[in-house]
Amino acid sequence: MDDNLPQDSKLTSTKRKWADEGKFLTGRHARPDTDRLPPGQHLVKNWPVLDLGQQPSISPSQWKLDIYGLVNKPTTFNWDSFQALPQSEMRSDIHCVTTWSRYDNDWKGVSTRDLLDAVEPTDKATAVMLTAYDGYTTNVLLSDFAVPDALIVTHWEGKPLTEEHGGPVRLVVPHLYFWKSAKWLKRIDFLGIDNAGFWEKNGYHMRGDPWAEERYSED
């Protein structure tokens, strides 16, 4: 769990301070249907690498994804059974809470909606908790997890997702800040109550809508 992560690392301390100070907030709201670049963001052409100082090395043959909690069909996928699910391709933007955005990323993987069809969440499920191979956790409302362009991705720009960007498998939920799109995805728990993950416990917003500047906790 996230208790094993470096709570007092330089990055964690810095980002906790940003939350305390409300750094980067502009107070301006935008709409994703009319304003492609959210408030306070700037465009980059590269893809910056951000992590908590650990980049787990997981080969496709070692990788597994456990699905537990409020589902009718608890499942453990290995690489082959995950690849046997319907494969989808999407293009979407990235918006990082550290203020950079990158347009037009081409992804390939399994739509979260196809995953939901496979595991069948119960009527009591309202949120998911994502757990990574490095112990990182983050929460996402089920309504956000199930949007049409959310993917559990294995490829970026036509190539297998690299280790530094969360390969072999990560989540991409493009309408939320990118800390919600957990790298090195290991486990998904379906919950009846929305619980805080690693950054949410360290001053960041429970939902993370870039167009509403939901960078930090409302508390």
Lowest-confidence pick of 15-24, 118-127, 156-165, 198-207: 15-24
Lowest-confidence pick of 2-6, 105-109, 113-117: 2-6
Across 171-196, average pLDDT:
98
What is the torsion angle, in degrees rounded to the nearest 10, for the CA atoms of residue 80, residue 83, residue 58 and residue 189? -100
Lowest-confidence pick of 7-21, 64-78, 102-116, 165-179: 7-21
Provide the whole-model pTM: 0.85
More reliable by pLDDT, 204 or 19: 204
What is the torsion angle, in degrees rounded to the nearest 10, for the CA atoms of residue 166, residue 170, residue 175 and residue 178? -30
Residue type, 35: D
User: What are residue 91's phi and psi, to 5 degrees?
Assistant: -120, 130
> Six-digit token pair at 68?
């537990």
Lowest-confidence pick of 22-26, 112-116, 117-121, 164-168: 22-26
CA-based end-to-end distance of the chain: 24
Across 101-128, average pLDDT:
98
Neighbour tally for 14: CB within 10 Å: 11
pLDDT per position as a tens digit, 130-161: 999 999 999 999 999 999 999 999 999 999 99
pLDDT at 1: 44
pLDDT at 196 exceeding the cut of 70 = yes
Distance CA 126, CA 192 (A): 5
Residue type, 49: V
User: What are residue 79's phi and psi, to 5 degrees?
Assistant: -60, -45
Across 175-195, average pLDDT:
98
Confidence tier at 50 by pLDDT (50, 70, 90): confident
Q: Are strands 64-69 and 185-191 parallel, antiparallel or unpaired?
A: parallel
Distance CA 148, CA 125 (A): 18
Chain centre to alpha carbon of residue 134: 14
pLDDT at 4 exceeding the cut of 60 = no
pLDDT at 23 exceeding the cut of 50 = no
Distance CA 147, CA 142 (A): 9
Contacts of 77 (CB under 8 A, 6+ apart): 64, 65, 67, 85
Do 193 and 162 form a contact (C-beta atoms < 8 A)? no
Domain positions in the chain are 2-212
Lowest-confidence pick of 44-58, 147-161, 178-192: 44-58
pLDDT at 115 exceeding the cut of 80 = yes
pLDDT at 57 exceeding the cut of 60 = yes
pLDDT at 55: 85
pLDDT at 199 exceeding the cut of 60 = yes
Task: Decide which of 3.50.50.60, 3.40.605.10, 3.40.630.30, 3.90.420.10 is the CATH code for 2-212.
Answer: 3.90.420.10
Q: Are strands 127-132 and 137-141 parallel, antiparallel or unpaired?
A: antiparallel
Do 133 and 141 form a contact (C-beta atoms < 8 A)? no
